[in-house]
Amino acid sequence: MKTYAIIPAAGSGARFKNDIPKPLVLLKGKEIFVYSLEVFEKSSFIDGMVVIAPADRCQEFENVIKKYSFKKPIKVVAGGNSRYESVSNGLKVLDPNIDFVLVHDGARPLVSLKVVEEAINMAYATKAVVVGVPVKPTIKRIDPRAKEIDTTLDRNILWEAQTPQVFAYELLMQAHRQGVGLDVEATDDAFLVERFGAKVKMIEGEYRNIKITTPEDLKIAEALLE
Protein backbone atom coordinates (compact mmCIF):
# COMPACT_ATOMS: atom_id res chain seq x y z
CA MET A 1 0.00 0.00 0.00
CA LYS A 2 1.49 3.30 -1.04
CA THR A 3 0.97 5.87 1.73
CA TYR A 4 2.05 9.51 1.86
CA ALA A 5 1.98 11.86 4.84
CA ILE A 6 0.85 15.48 4.48
CA ILE A 7 2.03 17.78 7.26
CA PRO A 8 0.15 21.10 7.32
CA ALA A 9 2.47 23.63 8.95
CA ALA A 10 1.36 26.86 7.27
CA GLY A 11 -0.78 28.37 10.03
CA SER A 12 -0.29 32.01 10.95
CA GLY A 13 0.53 31.06 14.54
CA ALA A 14 -1.35 34.14 15.80
CA ARG A 15 -1.88 32.57 19.23
CA PHE A 16 1.81 31.70 19.51
CA LYS A 17 2.99 35.33 19.59
CA ASN A 18 6.43 34.82 18.05
CA ASP A 19 8.09 36.36 14.98
CA ILE A 20 9.39 32.99 13.85
CA PRO A 21 6.65 30.75 12.36
CA LYS A 22 5.68 28.19 15.01
CA PRO A 23 6.85 25.05 13.11
CA LEU A 24 10.36 26.58 12.86
CA VAL A 25 10.57 27.33 16.57
CA LEU A 26 13.12 25.12 18.33
CA LEU A 27 11.88 22.53 20.81
CA LYS A 28 14.91 21.11 22.63
CA GLY A 29 17.12 22.33 19.78
CA LYS A 30 15.03 20.92 16.93
CA GLU A 31 12.39 22.63 14.78
CA ILE A 32 8.89 21.62 15.92
CA PHE A 33 7.78 20.19 12.54
CA VAL A 34 10.93 18.06 12.17
CA TYR A 35 9.83 15.75 15.03
CA SER A 36 6.94 14.33 13.01
CA LEU A 37 9.11 13.98 9.89
CA GLU A 38 11.47 11.83 11.96
CA VAL A 39 8.61 9.56 13.04
CA PHE A 40 7.39 9.20 9.43
CA GLU A 41 10.95 8.55 8.24
CA LYS A 42 11.07 5.59 10.66
CA SER A 43 7.76 4.01 9.65
CA SER A 44 7.94 1.36 6.96
CA PHE A 45 4.29 2.16 6.15
CA ILE A 46 5.10 5.66 4.83
CA ASP A 47 6.65 6.25 1.43
CA GLY A 48 7.16 10.00 1.49
CA MET A 49 6.10 13.29 3.04
CA VAL A 50 4.66 16.62 1.88
CA VAL A 51 5.23 19.58 4.19
CA ILE A 52 2.89 22.55 3.79
CA ALA A 53 4.76 25.74 4.61
CA PRO A 54 3.70 29.40 4.73
CA ALA A 55 3.95 30.67 1.11
CA ASP A 56 6.78 33.10 1.93
CA ARG A 57 8.80 30.57 3.97
CA CYS A 58 9.11 27.58 1.64
CA GLN A 59 12.85 28.06 1.08
CA GLU A 60 13.49 28.23 4.84
CA PHE A 61 11.58 24.99 5.35
CA GLU A 62 13.60 23.37 2.51
CA ASN A 63 16.84 24.48 4.16
CA VAL A 64 15.81 23.04 7.53
CA ILE A 65 14.82 19.71 5.96
CA LYS A 66 18.21 19.50 4.16
CA LYS A 67 20.02 19.74 7.50
CA TYR A 68 18.54 16.45 8.68
CA SER A 69 19.44 14.27 5.62
CA PHE A 70 16.13 12.37 5.44
CA LYS A 71 16.17 9.42 3.05
CA LYS A 72 12.50 9.48 2.04
CA PRO A 73 11.26 11.96 -0.59
CA ILE A 74 9.98 15.19 1.01
CA LYS A 75 8.23 17.95 -0.92
CA VAL A 76 7.61 21.45 0.43
CA VAL A 77 4.42 23.07 -0.84
CA ALA A 78 3.00 26.55 -0.18
CA GLY A 79 -0.07 26.61 2.06
CA GLY A 80 -3.22 28.71 1.81
CA ASN A 81 -5.36 30.92 3.99
CA SER A 82 -7.16 28.06 5.72
CA ARG A 83 -6.14 24.61 6.88
CA TYR A 84 -8.48 23.21 4.22
CA GLU A 85 -6.68 25.12 1.46
CA SER A 86 -3.29 24.09 2.82
CA VAL A 87 -4.12 20.37 2.83
CA SER A 88 -5.76 20.71 -0.62
CA ASN A 89 -2.50 22.19 -1.96
CA GLY A 90 -0.70 19.14 -0.60
CA LEU A 91 -3.18 16.70 -2.16
CA LYS A 92 -2.60 18.33 -5.57
CA VAL A 93 1.06 17.31 -5.68
CA LEU A 94 0.52 13.67 -4.69
CA ASP A 95 0.91 10.90 -7.24
CA PRO A 96 -2.70 9.83 -8.02
CA ASN A 97 -1.63 6.19 -7.83
CA ILE A 98 -1.12 6.23 -4.09
CA ASP A 99 -3.51 4.29 -1.83
CA PHE A 100 -3.61 6.18 1.50
CA VAL A 101 -2.95 9.67 2.81
CA LEU A 102 -2.06 10.43 6.41
CA VAL A 103 -2.58 14.04 7.53
CA HIS A 104 -0.72 15.19 10.61
CA ASP A 105 -0.54 18.70 12.11
CA GLY A 106 2.99 20.08 11.97
CA ALA A 107 2.24 21.50 15.42
CA ARG A 108 2.04 18.02 17.05
CA PRO A 109 5.68 16.98 17.52
CA LEU A 110 5.02 14.35 20.20
CA VAL A 111 3.19 11.85 18.00
CA SER A 112 4.50 8.31 18.45
CA LEU A 113 5.41 5.71 15.84
CA LYS A 114 3.02 3.29 17.56
CA VAL A 115 0.00 5.59 17.13
CA VAL A 116 0.94 6.38 13.51
CA GLU A 117 1.17 2.71 12.60
CA GLU A 118 -2.02 1.74 14.47
CA ALA A 119 -3.90 4.46 12.59
CA ILE A 120 -2.55 3.34 9.21
CA ASN A 121 -3.33 -0.31 9.93
CA MET A 122 -6.89 0.56 10.92
CA ALA A 123 -7.29 2.71 7.78
CA TYR A 124 -6.31 -0.28 5.62
CA ALA A 125 -9.42 -1.98 7.04
CA THR A 126 -11.88 0.94 7.31
CA LYS A 127 -10.67 3.65 4.84
CA ALA A 128 -11.03 6.55 7.30
CA VAL A 129 -9.44 6.85 10.75
CA VAL A 130 -9.01 9.62 13.28
CA VAL A 131 -6.78 9.40 16.33
CA GLY A 132 -8.31 10.93 19.43
CA VAL A 133 -8.61 10.77 23.19
CA PRO A 134 -11.65 10.70 25.51
CA VAL A 135 -12.18 14.21 26.94
CA LYS A 136 -11.22 14.66 30.60
CA PRO A 137 -13.15 17.83 31.53
CA THR A 138 -16.88 18.43 31.70
CA ILE A 139 -17.91 20.22 28.52
CA LYS A 140 -20.78 22.72 28.41
CA ARG A 141 -22.44 24.07 25.29
CA ILE A 142 -23.09 27.76 25.77
CA ASP A 143 -25.18 30.47 24.21
CA PRO A 144 -22.26 32.62 22.92
CA ARG A 145 -24.15 35.91 23.21
CA ALA A 146 -25.63 35.52 26.67
CA LYS A 147 -22.60 33.49 27.88
CA GLU A 148 -25.07 31.21 29.60
CA ILE A 149 -24.95 27.46 29.71
CA ASP A 150 -27.24 25.88 27.21
CA THR A 151 -26.57 22.27 28.11
CA THR A 152 -24.01 19.92 29.65
CA LEU A 153 -22.79 17.33 27.19
CA ASP A 154 -22.41 13.67 28.11
CA ARG A 155 -18.69 13.24 28.69
CA ASN A 156 -18.88 9.51 28.07
CA ILE A 157 -19.40 10.02 24.35
CA LEU A 158 -17.07 12.98 23.76
CA TRP A 159 -13.61 12.55 22.27
CA GLU A 160 -11.05 15.15 21.30
CA ALA A 161 -9.91 14.70 17.70
CA GLN A 162 -6.16 14.83 17.17
CA THR A 163 -4.01 13.90 14.22
CA PRO A 164 -2.84 11.68 12.55
CA GLN A 165 -5.95 11.14 10.45
CA VAL A 166 -5.63 8.54 7.70
CA PHE A 167 -7.87 8.13 4.65
CA ALA A 168 -8.05 6.14 1.45
CA TYR A 169 -6.65 8.54 -1.19
CA GLU A 170 -9.73 8.54 -3.42
CA LEU A 171 -12.10 9.12 -0.48
CA LEU A 172 -10.12 12.11 0.82
CA MET A 173 -9.88 13.58 -2.70
CA GLN A 174 -13.65 13.33 -3.15
CA ALA A 175 -14.34 14.78 0.30
CA HIS A 176 -11.99 17.69 -0.40
CA ARG A 177 -13.55 18.38 -3.80
CA GLN A 178 -16.95 18.55 -2.12
CA GLY A 179 -15.56 20.93 0.48
CA VAL A 180 -14.91 23.73 -2.05
CA GLY A 181 -16.71 26.92 -0.98
CA LEU A 182 -17.76 25.48 2.37
CA ASP A 183 -19.21 28.20 4.63
CA VAL A 184 -17.97 26.62 7.89
CA GLU A 185 -14.31 26.21 8.78
CA ALA A 186 -13.04 22.65 8.35
CA THR A 187 -10.69 22.43 11.32
CA ASP A 188 -9.75 18.86 10.43
CA ASP A 189 -9.98 16.54 7.45
CA ALA A 190 -12.33 14.08 9.10
CA PHE A 191 -14.97 16.84 9.09
CA LEU A 192 -14.91 16.86 5.29
CA VAL A 193 -15.07 13.07 5.09
CA GLU A 194 -17.99 13.02 7.60
CA ARG A 195 -19.85 15.59 5.49
CA PHE A 196 -19.20 13.46 2.44
CA GLY A 197 -21.19 10.75 4.22
CA ALA A 198 -18.45 8.22 4.93
CA LYS A 199 -17.99 6.50 8.29
CA VAL A 200 -14.86 7.56 10.16
CA LYS A 201 -13.35 5.27 12.79
CA MET A 202 -11.95 6.83 15.97
CA ILE A 203 -9.02 5.07 17.62
CA GLU A 204 -7.50 5.94 20.97
CA GLY A 205 -4.21 7.81 20.82
CA GLU A 206 -2.15 9.45 23.54
CA TYR A 207 -2.78 12.53 25.70
CA ARG A 208 0.83 13.60 25.22
CA ASN A 209 0.22 14.18 21.49
CA ILE A 210 -0.62 17.83 22.17
CA LYS A 211 -0.94 20.56 19.56
CA ILE A 212 1.45 23.41 20.27
CA THR A 213 -0.76 26.48 20.05
CA THR A 214 0.39 28.90 22.75
CA PRO A 215 3.81 29.55 24.36
CA GLU A 216 2.71 27.50 27.40
CA ASP A 217 2.24 24.47 25.16
CA LEU A 218 5.90 24.68 24.17
CA LYS A 219 6.87 24.45 27.85
CA ILE A 220 4.55 21.47 28.32
CA ALA A 221 6.08 19.75 25.28
CA GLU A 222 9.58 20.36 26.68
CA ALA A 223 8.53 18.79 29.98
CA LEU A 224 6.96 15.79 28.22
CA LEU A 225 10.18 15.21 26.26
CA GLU A 226 12.22 15.00 29.47
> Residue 99 in contact with residue 48, Cβ under 8 Å?
no
Toward ligand C5P, which CB reaches closer, 80 or 121?
A: 80
Per-residue burial over 131-166, b = 16 or more CB atoms within 10 Å of its CB, e = otherwise? bbbeeeeeeeeeeeeeeeeeeeeeeeeeeebbbbbb
Question: From residue 10 to residue 29, what is the string marking binding to ligand C5P with x (rule CB under 6 A)?
Answer: xx------------------
Report if residue 8 touches ligand C5P, rule: CB under 6 A: yes
The Cα–Cα gap between 15 and 101 comes to 28
Report if residue 214 touches ligand C5P, rule: CB under 6 A: no
Report if residue 126 touches ligand C5P, rule: CB under 6 A: no
The Cα–Cα gap between 39 and 9 comes to 16
Toward ligand C5P, which CB reaches closer, 115 or 138?
A: 115
What's the closest the beta carbon of residue 97 comes to ligand C5P, in angstroms? Answer: 25
- Region near ligand C5P per CB under 6 A, out of 5-13, 57-65, 115-123, 129-137: 5-13
If 0-12 CB within 10 Å is exposed, 13-18 middle and 19+ buried, where does residue 52 land?
Answer: buried
Q: Report the interface residues with ligand C5P, using CB under 6 A.
A: 8-11, 52, 79-83, 86, 105-107, 187, 211, 213
